[in-house]
Amino acid sequence: MTERFSFSLLATDGRARRGEIAMPRGIVRTPAFMPVGTAGTVKAMYLDQVRDLGADIILGNVYHLMLRPGAERVARLGGLHDFARWPHPILTDSGGFQVMSLAELRKLDETGVTFRSHVDGSVHSLTPERSIEIQGLLDSDIQMQLDECIRLPAERAEIERAMELSLRWAERCRVAFGDQPGKAMFGIVQGGDLADLRQRSAERLAAMDLKGYAVGGLAVGEPQEVMLAILDETLPVLPQEKPRYLMGVGTPDDIIKSVARGIDMFDCVMPTRAGRHGLAYTRFGKINLKNARHADDPRPLDETSDCPAARDYSRAYLHHLVKTNESLGGMLLTWNNLAYYQQLMAGIRAAIEAKRYDAFCAEVTEAWAKGDM
Ligand SMILES: CNc1nc2c(CC[C@H]3O[C@H](OC)[C@H](OC)[C@@H](OC)[C@@H]3OC)c3nc(N)[nH]c(=O)c3cc2[nH]1
């Protein structure tokens, strides 16, 4: 067991990287998909199941947890790991994105952001220092800086203002985080869709010598090719020996294309949220179990899978559960979807080790296109 946070590159294949993040609570195999555990729970899953699927790390969220049950209360109860019974690594987002997307009546200035809770209208404020303090109270292993993620399209002046503010907040978070050898604080690259601002943001964050870097401001509705072009411009400026985390991404296709450009970590609500809405992610692409064509189909989603939700239940039964809005429908499809995402990540890691990543991408893309009619 290691006392220090460290990242090691084990293999590369082109710009794709196979690595490991080591910290006191465990090892994260990269490229990694991090199930979203917003309020200390991966919705519709037992965390033992999440672990059994191969997840090395899950996400938590300052915004949700500071509102309910409150960061000081979680700290009094032993921190998020004890509270949620997840003894492995946890990464927490800083709350900035959620304030901009969920809260009402918010005011943002140099000091931070003041907002009304979307839950009960109570007024709260988040500064860089308070966000890091909350993440410390949660005992989070990887803490994100407070940043301002703006919606695209936006004027250059607005993108530059938010990017520069996020850089000043990164420095304040770095000071507030201090020296915690077993934990990490990641900076978040902003700069919208403007290559020169993205590179300036990445260079200034790289100069802060942080333990890892996220690429933010993406997966906010822009076309995939715009996202990938921004990665092509931004990643070469970030240090090769530090982990890179693409926030909020994405579909299986987003993931394989972003790994090819040098991303190590991903998070996305898609597999869990889609599962609750009747959508299954499989080796054959997406299957919408609401569709009547499944009503008499005795086949499981994927008889070759080692996940019971994919292997042991007929599509007819899953269709029935989804149509009758039974809780078990969302539970089984979430289980299936997270299993598929972790199987995809395991395949990605093995392909990079075997230096056959391009062939792997061609194989999975062909299988998605062929479907399973
Ligand atoms: C979807 N596209 C997407 N998500 C971005 C998140 C939030 C990730 C966040 O996205 C949900 O919150 C809303 C998740 O909860 C539902 C959070 O999980 C705990 C997750 O935290 C890492 C970003 N967070 C920050 N701090 N900065 C960003 O620029 C940014 C960009 C994102 N794009």
pLDDT tens-digit map of 34-61 = 999 988 899 999 999 999 999 999 999 9
Q: Atom 12, ligand 1: which residue's CA is nearest?
A: 98
34-43, 78-87, 226-235, 327-336: segment of lowest average pLDDT = 34-43
C-alpha of residue 158 to centroid of ligand 1, in Å: 20
pLDDT recorded at residue 97:
86
Confidence of residue 101 (pLDDT cuts 50, 70, 90): confident
pLDDT recorded at residue 100:
79
SS3 string of 280-341? Answer: EEECCEEEECCCHHHCCCCCECCCCCCCHHHHCCEHHHHHHHHHCCCHHHHHHHHHHHHHHH
Q: Is 215 in the pocket of ligand 1 (CB under 6 A)?
A: no
Residue 77, burial from CB neighbour count under 10 angstroms (0-12, 13-18, 19+): exposed
Give the single-character DSSP code of 219: S
Q: Is 38 in the pocket of ligand 1 (CB under 6 A)?
A: yes
Q: Is 201 in the pocket of ligand 1 (CB under 6 A)?
A: no
Under 8 Å between Cβ of 174 and 144: no
Question: One-letter amino acid identity for 342?
Answer: Q
Angle at 145 between CA 144 and CA 151, to 5 degrees: 95
Distance (Å, whole) CA 361 – CA 253: 9
156 pLDDT exceeds 90? yes
Q: What are phi and psi of 306, to 5 degrees?
A: -95, 10
Q: Is 9 in the pocket of ligand 1 (CB under 6 A)?
A: no
Return the percentage of the chain with pLDDT > 90, whole number.
92
Distance (Å, whole) CA 166 – CA 152: 16
pLDDT recorded at residue 2:
84
Q: Is 188 in the pocket of ligand 1 (CB under 6 A)?
A: yes
Confidence of residue 102 (pLDDT cuts 50, 70, 90): confident
Mean per-residue pLDDT, 143-167: 96
Average pLDDT taken over every residue of the chain: 96
- Segment 203-248, tens digit of pLDDT: 999 999 999 999 999 999 999 999 999 999 999 999 999 999 999 9
ipTM for the whole complex: 0.93
Verify whether residue 267 is a known catalytic residue. Answer: yes
Q: Is 96 in the pocket of ligand 1 (CB under 6 A)?
A: yes
Give the atom of ligand 1 at the shortest distance from the alpha carbon of 269.
16
In sequence order, which residues have a C-beta less than 8 Å from that of residue 208 and are 6 or more positions away?
Answer: 170, 171, 174, 187
More confident residue, 373 or 154: 154
Q: For the chain, give the number of residues.
A: 373
pLDDT recorded at residue 22:
98
86 pLDDT exceeds 80? yes
The terminus-to-terminus CA distance of the chain in angstroms comes to 47
Radius of gyration of the chain from its Cα atoms, rounded to whole angstroms = 20
1 pLDDT exceeds 80? no
Q: Is 93 in the pocket of ligand 1 (CB under 6 A)?
A: yes
Tell me how far CA of residue 176 lies from CA of 150, 162, 164, 172, 247, in angstroms. 24, 21, 19, 6, 22
C-alpha of residue 64 to centroid of ligand 1, in Å: 12
Q: Is 263 in the pocket of ligand 1 (CB under 6 A)?
A: no
Give the single-character DSSP code of 59: E
117-126, 305-314, 322-331: segment of lowest average pLDDT = 117-126
Mean per-residue pLDDT, 81-108: 89
373 pLDDT exceeds 80? no
Distance (Å, whole) CA 351 – CA 30: 12
**Annotated active-site residue in 13, 56, 93, 139:** 93
87-91, 97-101, 153-157, 341-345: segment of lowest average pLDDT = 97-101
Give the residue among 250, 190, 179 at the shortest CA–CA distance from 214.
190
C-alpha of residue 218 to centroid of ligand 1, in Å: 9
pLDDT recorded at residue 151:
86
Distance (Å, whole) CA 336 – CA 323: 18
Is the C-alpha dihedral spanning 43, 46, 47, 51 positive or negative? Answer: negative
Confidence of residue 159 (pLDDT cuts 50, 70, 90): very high
349 pLDDT exceeds 80? yes
In sequence order, which residues have a C-beta less than 8 Å from that of residue 347 and are 6 or more positions away?
Answer: 360, 364
C-alpha of residue 355 to centroid of ligand 1, in Å: 31
Confidence of residue 271 (pLDDT cuts 50, 70, 90): very high
Q: Atom 9, ligand 1: which residue's CA is nearest?
A: 248
Give the residue among 352, 350, 332, 351 at the shortest CA–CA distance from 340.
332
Distance (Å, whole) CA 365 – CA 182: 38
Ligand 1 pocket: which of 222, 247, 267 to mutate (most atoms <8 Å of CB)? Answer: 247
| Helix, strand or coil, per DSSP, at residue 114 | strand
pLDDT recorded at residue 111:
97
